Structure 1
Amino acid sequence: MKIAVAGENALIIYLSDHLSPEVSDQVQRAVQVLEQALGDLLVDLVPSYASLLLIYDLYKTDYGRLCSQIPALLAEAKGRASERRAKLVELPVYYSEESGPDLRVMASQTGLSISDIVDLHQAREYRVYAIGFAPGFAYLGEVDERIAHPRLATPRPRVRQGSVGIAGRQTAVYPSISPGGWNLIGRCPLLMFDLQADPPMPVEVGDRVRFFAIDRSEFISMGGEL
């Protein structure tokens, strides 16, 4: 465990130097214990793969005091069961060359067929390891190594909302129109971030996600736009 300064009222707690479901569980337990113990000293806690960004109220505490408290609290978190039950979220995807412009290139470079890539992508559950880059952008892992693919050498200036991509062994759904360098294999018609909804995001860090294939007409009937 390591603590580092991340700003005038923020610090980062590094819990490990590798990615795994066990480390992700440890991050979740740390969030619970720190929220309960530090209370109104906190402004926000932002969990990630193997670390935790802690933003604190400068009028109520400081870096030194927190550094003296955190090790004992994290030790307590190790022996505590998670209080939050991770949910399974199922997301529909219209997989096609029309909605996934990188499918054919991925197929030629991996030696797999397009249907193989689609089958492998929807064959397993993914863990939500982090949410970032844009509101609702959930980093999911890990894809089957046979469809792992490096980011594009030149990112697209505009990726459409709902685009489903792969980068390395991660997969994600773009929650809004944005630049992006992930390999696009389909589109999801559901909103990944909606300020009018409660909660505004369908997933949280620690949740599980499974994708399932839908056809073009289903995509459009569920609100998707081509």
Structure 2
Amino acid sequence: MEELNYQDVIERIKARFPQGTVRQREDNGRAYIPNQIYTDRVESATGSRWDREIRDVEVNIPHRFVKVIARVTIGPHHRDGIGFSEIHADGSGKVKQLSTAVDQAANEAVRDALDTWQIGWRDLAPYNSKDWGGNPALGHLLHGEPPGEIDFTKQPAAVIERKCVFANCGRKLTRDEWELLGHIPNLSRERMTYCFEHIPNHYKRKIPSEIQEAFLNPNK
């Protein structure tokens, strides 16, 4: 089997969906993409070489909620997501359809993890133009390639259009450096875009050791 090319997989995951994929909820009008679409995209982009793991389930009967933490792994990288759902009860206070609530929270947690890889962002941005979709830093999502016409052969193999913000540096980041920043907790890589050399040490220490090892020794 052909070796998984992580960067190529992520570009395919982030590519636009066909016209009509985005739906709008009947209750609040919010735009969304069904979970099945996300799963199908990751399946096809990775050739089924991905994994999702439920890390924690909290069922809080008194406060009527379920919280699930899920981990999605693609190649050498993983992302965690959190999902919540409401526990419903009948008139006597007896809990009903608890398994459905757990499933809903699990699905949301997986979707939350996948969201960190920007899946569906290009499609949802126009529906959120007054919020994050209209932010100048994300303007490329609104003005990128039209649906279904992403040409992966035109994508740079190693360098992306992100420059290091460190004083007097300005070097374009590699795709691996960009992905590495995504593993630093509480760091906004849209604003704090560092090449590896200039990542502040207190942030470097927060990168999981296995992730940093894979970055430093990609051929192992």
Q: TM-score, normalised by structure 1?
A: 0.28
* Structure with the larger RCO, 1 or 2 (CA within 8 Å, 6+ apart): 1
Q: TM-score, normalised by structure 2?
A: 0.28
Structure with the bigger percentage of helix: 2
Structure with the bigger percentage of strand: 1
